[in-house]
Amino acid sequence: MEAILMSKLTALVVAAVLMMSGTAFAKIGVVNFQKVLSTSDSGKSVYNKLKTKAAEFDTELEKLSKEITKLQNDFEKQANLLTPEAKDKKSAEINRLVREFNGAKKDYSNQLQRIEARYLKDIESEVLNITEKLGKELNYELIVEFQHAGVMYFSDKVDITDIVIERYNKEWNVKK
């Protein structure tokens, strides 16, 4: 339902722009933000940073997992020799570590999502600025984002994603 509304809104915006421009044809561009994320230098850098951070978290979780497995194996081997109190103590320790593992897993996932959201917000802002400059420079009447604007079809002639990526890479590499 929301996609249909976005499609209609996009169509209305395009119609309004065409009417205001006073011409039958308006210069329109389309940008595929997902492609910008996956192929730009900045997007690749963010992906590698997230991958590295996820690997760090996985290493920590693997340590906890091994500790839990070792305690469980020891418990199973010694179960017949332990007193009921000792069994309860070992079982409680294992349960505590399992809760710690699950909490750490959730926390790490939340941290990764926050980091990713921050990076995406920065990239989105930078790409928006570049797209705005490009639109003014090349006299575009309208530039839409491919996936979120409800675009069902567009000709390769209006796809300016590669130009945006090229400009973004230049600006990003200068800042770096």
pLDDT digits (tens, 9 = 90+) for 73-87: 998 998 888 889 989
**For the residues 8-30, what does the mean pLDDT come to?**
62
Q: And the tokens for 56? A: 């760090």
Q: And the tokens for 81? A: 């020799």
Cα-Cα end-to-end distance for the chain: 42
For residues 98 and 14, what is the distance between their CA atoms, to the nearest angstrom? 55
Domain around 67: 2-175
* Domains: count for the chain: 1
- Dihedral angle of Cα 165, 44, 128, 122, to the nearest 10 degrees: -160
Residue 16 main-chain phi, psi, to 5 deg: -65, -45
What percentage of the chain has pLDDT greater than the value 70? 86
Residues 35 and 161 sit within 8 Å (Cβ to Cβ): yes
pTM of the complete model beyond 0.85: no
Query: Which stretch of 8-17, 58-67, 135-144, 150-159 has the lowest confidence by average pLDDT?
Result: 8-17
